[in-house]
Amino acid sequence: MNANTGMRALPVRAANGWMVRLADVNRELWLLLSLFIIAGILNRLVASHGMVLGFYTLPTLFSAYVFGRTHAVLTAIGSVLLVVIVTIANPVLFVHSTASGMDKWFDLGVWAGLLTVTAYFMGTLYERKEIHVRELRRTYFGVLTILQQFVSNDEYTHNHSNRVAFYAVSIANRMGFDEDRVDDVRAAALLHDIGKLDTSRELLYKATSLTPEETAEMRRHVRKGVSMLEPVGGSLGRVIPIILAHHERHDGSGYESLKGEEIPLEAQILAVADAFDTLTSDRPYRRAVTSFEAKRLIDSGSGTNFEPKVVEAFTAAFNAREMDIPEGLSL
């Protein structure tokens, strides 16, 4: 892919980023608008002759929990403005309609202040939780990387797993996976060959065709890897089905004869990423092919070896140069 193609890809990628962001904003606005409508309906049902301010705190609480401090404060301000407008338009709806004018607005001011303060602090708690989760996520993948370095029998297996993780994450992002699913794909990619720890280097580096017995031994690395990970549990428990099925083929001709939707989508992403790196890497038994030839081979395997939706996402990522490993990460 030449430099001009890369330059053309940059505006497209930026445009896609803006479109994704706009979609996120629209989703947030619709959610908040829905909550305001729900609060109004509840107010109508519970107190048809007055305004129950407590209902108008619901959008703020939701915004703080889901979107963070900035959204929560803005939602609180929106709630206050909405209540003020409604109160001015129809004063009898205010819950303390028997109070004097000044008392009514004082109560409303106190409620508005408390709501804004609540929004700020609840949003702050949410953001601190998010920071903590991100730190735990970085630690988790740091530990996985260290583990993967220790258990790799050879430099190729170690570097192969890192590259496959990069490719798999690019494809998963193209398919619109959320952060947790992307993390599972990355973890599975880093550890998908962990079972080769018990495979001899002679077999791994054999330059000639494998015998049926040797082929069976190589295939056992998947089950061996799963056996190593099962006692760990926790988050790694989610990646076991992915690792177990990453050598399955869409048409059912893989290791365990699973096919189509029987294969986890994450495993089908891993299969494409694994195949792309294997094809573009030198091995003892064959020379590497170019990335374009590897893409052509993967495209030709759509519907047989690979899930068509995954191949489509892979192709889109490839054309957008998202499968190009940055220089700082070259392995």
pLDDT in tens, 127-180: 777 776 776 667 666 666 656 555 555 556 668 888 999 999 999 999 999 988
Cα 100 off chain centre by: 54
- Report pTM: 0.61
Distance CA 236, CA 245 (A): 15
Joined together, the tokens standing for residue 161 give: 């797993």
Q: What length does the chain have? A: 331
Report the pLDDT value the prediction gives residue 250, as an integer from 0 to 100.
92
**Structural domains of the chain ordered from first start:** 3-130 (no CATH), 152-329 (1.10.3210.10)
Q: What is the amino acid identity at position 110?
A: V
Report the pLDDT value the prediction gives residue 29, as an integer from 0 to 100.
58
Report the pLDDT value the prediction gives residue 114, as an integer from 0 to 100.
82
Q: Could you read off the pLDDT of 194-238 as tens digits, one per residue?
A: 777 777 677 776 767 788 888 888 888 888 878 877 776 667 778
Give the closest residue to 331 by CA, choosing from 157, 182, 108: 157
Report the pLDDT value the prediction gives residue 137, as an integer from 0 to 100.
66
Report the pLDDT value the prediction gives residue 63, as an integer from 0 to 100.
80
Joined together, the tokens standing for residue 246 give: 């990453």
Joined together, the tokens standing for residue 319 give: 């054309």
Report the pLDDT value the prediction gives residue 52, as an integer from 0 to 100.
60
Cα 165 off chain centre by: 13
The secondary structure of 262-296 as a DSSP string is GS-HHHHHHHHHHHHHHHTS-BTTBPPPPHHHHHH
Give 94's strand partners.
Answer: 51
Give the closest residue to 169 by CA, choosing from 179, 156, 159, 158: 179
Q: What is the dihedral of CA 32, 36, 133, 272, to 10 degrees?
A: -40
Please enumerate, as own/partner, the contacts of 63-68 that have beta carbons within 8 Å and a separation of 24 or more.
63/32, 63/119, 63/123, 64/118, 64/119, 64/122, 64/123, 64/125, 64/126, 65/122, 65/126, 66/31, 67/28, 67/123, 67/126, 68/123, 68/126, 68/127, 68/130
Predicted confidence pLDDT, tens digits, the chain (331 residues): 443 444 344 343 444 444 444 455 455 555 556 655 655 565 555 444 445 666 677 778 778 877 788 878 888 888 788 777 777 776 665 544 445 556 667 777 887 888 888 888 888 887 777 776 776 667 666 666 656 555 555 556 668 888 999 999 999 999 999 988 998 999 899 888 877 777 767 777 676 778 888 888 888 888 887 887 777 666 777 888 999 999 999 999 888 888 899 999 999 999 999 999 999 988 777 789 999 999 999 999 999 999 999 999 999 999 999 999 876 554 5
DSSP state of 325: P
CA distances from 62 to 82, 121, 167 (A): 17, 13, 36
Report the pLDDT value the prediction gives residue 9, as an integer from 0 to 100.
41
Joined together, the tokens standing for residue 177 give: 């996976």
